[in-house]
Structure 1
Amino acid sequence: MCYFAINVGVRGGEIDAKSRTPQKLDYYSISTDAGRAADVVIETAEKLAALNPTEELTLFLGDLERGKLSPLDGEWKFLFATAADLTFGKNSARGHAKVKNVVDASRGRIIRITNVVDFAPYHVVGDDTIVEEPALRRLSIVIAAKAVGKSRLDMRFRCARADLTKFFSWKRRWSLYIPVPAPFIRVIVLISRIFRFGGETEKVISKAYFGVLYLDNQLRIHRTGEDNLFVQVKEDAWSEARLLLV
């Protein structure tokens, strides 16, 4: 996975100024090699979609008794994404972070999905790596999802939890809960405004959903309503992917 510095919000280029939806990353803006590598990943994902081994990707999703048997259930780590709002790196203005998606498929008709961003306890200044606990330690977005057909989930963003390490100038661990009546990117913008990273308030609310293109016990590929592609893996099932995880 390649990283490049990007700020939060419209000013940073993650959100389209008109549609207020997540922008797609232009990997060629990093380098020609990065762009070509991203093209290979996207092309491979499209080919895998045609070979999807799971006929009913939403099987057992929301089943109180058999939900844990759902092929979507469990913890998924981000391996690749075209969406700018989920790009983090040690040289990024937002810091280095690991991103995962946790699906709880056994909660009834409405499934709970949690996007978790864990920020690393260091940042880079020039050529130096400075170890310092970040003000924002973890950001969790809770999503209510509902299966629509065999491969699509409609989503409604419920709330965000920001785990912080400072209260103004005092070092103190505390959590801030924020109701979310809109897509995930709105919360990122709101949190970033609190910490003065820049950004603007979203005005247009788009319907959130994703369609699963490929799914097995190791790999998951899906595309969102904004036409962003995501590749995720189960770390405990695919050891070879661990070195590549975001």
Structure 2
Amino acid sequence: MPYIDASTRTHLPASRSVGSMLDSPDTDEKFRNCIYASDDTLNLLRDELKARLISLIRQSRQLSETRERARAIESAEDERAGHDEKARHSRWYGVKLLGRIARKLVSRRRKAEKSSGIVDSDSLRQVTLQLGEAGERILDLCSQLSSLNPTQRPALGFANYGDVPPSNSSLDGEWKLIFTTASDASFPETEKRGVATTSQVVDAEAGTFTNVVDFERGKLKGFRVVVDGTPLNDTDVGLSFRGVRLLRRSRFPRLFGDIYLRIPSGLIRRLSRSSKSKEPYLRLKYIDDSMRIHVSNTGNFFVHTRTDHNLPSVYIALSDLRETAFKPPVPTTPVTALKLSQSSMSGFT
């Protein structure tokens, strides 16, 4: 279908595919200057960008899993070497000493890798510098999708904002987190808790975001973080922490079952006034019937997909993209289930 270049007012060839348009080096300029003849063309562009985004996240995740398996093999070999060294303690003192030195060096290296996964950036520029090439490509796709956002007023209907009923809210429903640049919103797989799944339930009528984290095994089954949302304008939603519910696996659920911790609203207001930072909020950059992209007030990106759509179930975090495009990524910083930072509010939300 033909489209018009707004800068020259000339008709451009209709034979060019969506993929060739996106691969062109002046893609950003085209996004600013092209007036598309129909909504079908825009939908094709959105679908192509979303497919590329999900594919890139999936590839990055596969490489992350490969790196994790390699680390597990290395750890097992170190453990076996340690047992052998202990058995030869009396006769091989020199070997034992060298082994201790080697383990200390490995430990220091791992600590350095973990510390490098911490994000202390509040700007997109600083975040992209830490992401590497693969992460920059993901954020570039997010930016292109944002320029094609089909929902101009995404906050409408949430908590009756704009006098629109909650049933018409674009936010309402269950969402799965598939990508984030916030290191404290990621839960890497560990031997004790297994695989962690993260999702979010948005209740537009109640005006709440419930961040859902479930663990495969361990005494802590998961937890739920409830956050109140208040629309500030058509795209921004202010966030206020309400409470957290800890779900525990126990033989005696009545005695050692779930725990609910609630913070009084007055205390939240006092903490907000005493804090030098702004109150947390999210800015909706893109939302349609299957995908949502938003940025937190700390500059972190979050990509969600609706759970009732047939989109790939993938998840990748900032630290999984550390070493540029498609090199084995550095392991992420461990996060405990009880760590409730600002990303617990603006992270999954």
| TM-score calculated relative to the size of structure 2 | 0.48
Query: Aligned pair in 2 of structure 1 residues 156, 92: CA closer, same or farther (>3 Å)?
Result: farther
Cα distance, 1:15 vs. partner?
7.2
The alignment covers a number of residue pairs equal to 194
* Structure 1 gap ranges (5+): 29-34, 122-133, 183-202
Cα distance, 1:86 vs. partner?
1.6
Please say if 1:112 is aligned against 2:208.
Answer: yes
Structure (1 or 2) with the greater strand fraction: 1
- Aligned-residue Cα RMSD (Å) equals 3.5
Looking at structure 2, the residues matched to 93 and 15 of structure 1 have their Cα atoms a distance apart, in angstroms, of 25
> Does the residue aligned with 1:240 lie in a helix, a strand or coil?
coil
- Counterpart amino acid of 2:209? I
In the other structure, the counterpart of 1:77 is 176
Deviations 1:132-152 (A, max 9, x none): xx1111110000110111000
Q: Which has the larger radius of gyration?
A: 2
- Counterpart amino acid of 1:114? T
Looking at structure 2, the residues matched to 99 and 60 of structure 1 have their Cα atoms a distance apart, in angstroms, of 25
Q: Percentage identity across aligned positions?
A: 27
In the other structure, the counterpart of 1:241 is 312
> Does the residue aligned with 2:150 lie in a helix, a strand or coil?
coil
Please say if 1:59 is aligned against 2:156.
Answer: yes
Q: Is the 8 A contact 1:24 1:83 kept in 2?
A: no
* Structure 2 gap ranges (5+): 1-56, 69-109, 269-274, 317-349
Q: Is the 8 A contact 2:177 2:200 kept in 1?
A: yes
Please say if 1:211 is aligned against 2:308.
Answer: no
> Does the residue aligned with 1:226 lie in a helix, a strand or coil?
coil
Looking at structure 1, the residues matched to 150 and 288 of structure 2 have their Cα atoms a distance apart, in angstroms, of 7
In the other structure, the counterpart of 2:227 is 143
> Does the residue aligned with 2:158 lie in a helix, a strand or coil?
coil
| TM-score calculated relative to the size of structure 1 | 0.67
Query: Aligned pair in 2 of structure 1 residues 50, 159: CA closer, same or farther (>3 Å)?
Result: same
In the other structure, the counterpart of 1:176 is 259
Looking at structure 1, the residues matched to 259 and 294 of structure 2 have their Cα atoms a distance apart, in angstroms, of 30
Deviations 1:84-132 (A, max 9, x none): 112122248875311111110012xxx11101111112xxxxxxxxxxx
